[in-house]
Amino acid sequence: MAISFAQQIMSNPTDKDAWVKAFKATTGHTAMAPHQIELVDIGDDFAVLEMPIGDHARQPFGLLHGGMSLLLAESAASMHACWGVDLSKRVPVGIEVSCSHLSSATEGSVRAHATVIKRGRTLIRHKIDIIHIETERLLCEVRVTNLYKSM
């Protein structure tokens, strides 16, 4: 049986290199794998994921599908909500997502940059900017709230 992401980071839940390695090793059977989403960077107050825009991520008119922006944003926020947390005692679960689609893209790559707005004992809220890497244009602003659920 494969070792889970939580098991891989449990011994050092704030080691960036361990997170990147665990992400690559465990996301093969998740919604992120078919979309080639990669963890680029993570720290105390932020996480950065990237994804290429291809046919897998376009809607019928050739534009980046809005749902892909949300997948990327929620993945960044939920992953970061695990940073420094003892996942054997509590895990983050999404309870709210809201977004504004501001611009569109048809090719290239996108970056989700999640930053903590507020971190409390039971909730963590992130603001995530979805940015077209090649033009640095802001495509979407997303807000995600996760509840820390006791295990």
Which distant-in-sequence residues (6+ apart) come within 8 Å of 43 by Cβ?
A: 16, 83
Q: Is residue 63 part of a domain?
A: yes
For 65-79, how does the pLDDT look when each residue is reduced to its tens digit (9 = 90+)?
A: 999 999 999 999 999
Count: domains in the chain: 1
Mean pLDDT of 83-101: 93
Q: Is residue 1 part of a domain?
A: no
Q: Is residue 47 part of a domain?
A: yes
* Domain residue limits at 47: 13-150
Q: Is residue 3 part of a domain?
A: no
- Please identify which of the residues 38, 50, 74, 134 carries the catalytic annotation: 74
- Model-level pTM? 0.90
For 43-67, how does the pLDDT look when each residue is reduced to its tens digit (9 = 90+)?
A: 999 999 999 999 999 999 999 999 9
Question: What pLDDT, on the 0 to 100 scale, is given for residue 112?
Answer: 98
Residue 24 has pLDDT above 90, yes or no: no
Residue 9 has pLDDT above 80, yes or no: no
Q: Is residue 8 part of a domain?
A: no
Q: Is residue 5 part of a domain?
A: no
Is 57 in contact with 107 (CB distance < 8 Å)? Answer: no
Q: Is residue 7 part of a domain?
A: no
Residue 1 has pLDDT above 50, yes or no: no
Q: Does residue 134 have an active-site annotation? A: no
CATH of the domain at 46: 3.10.129.10
Q: What SS3 class is residue 13? A: coil
Q: Is residue 42 part of a domain?
A: yes
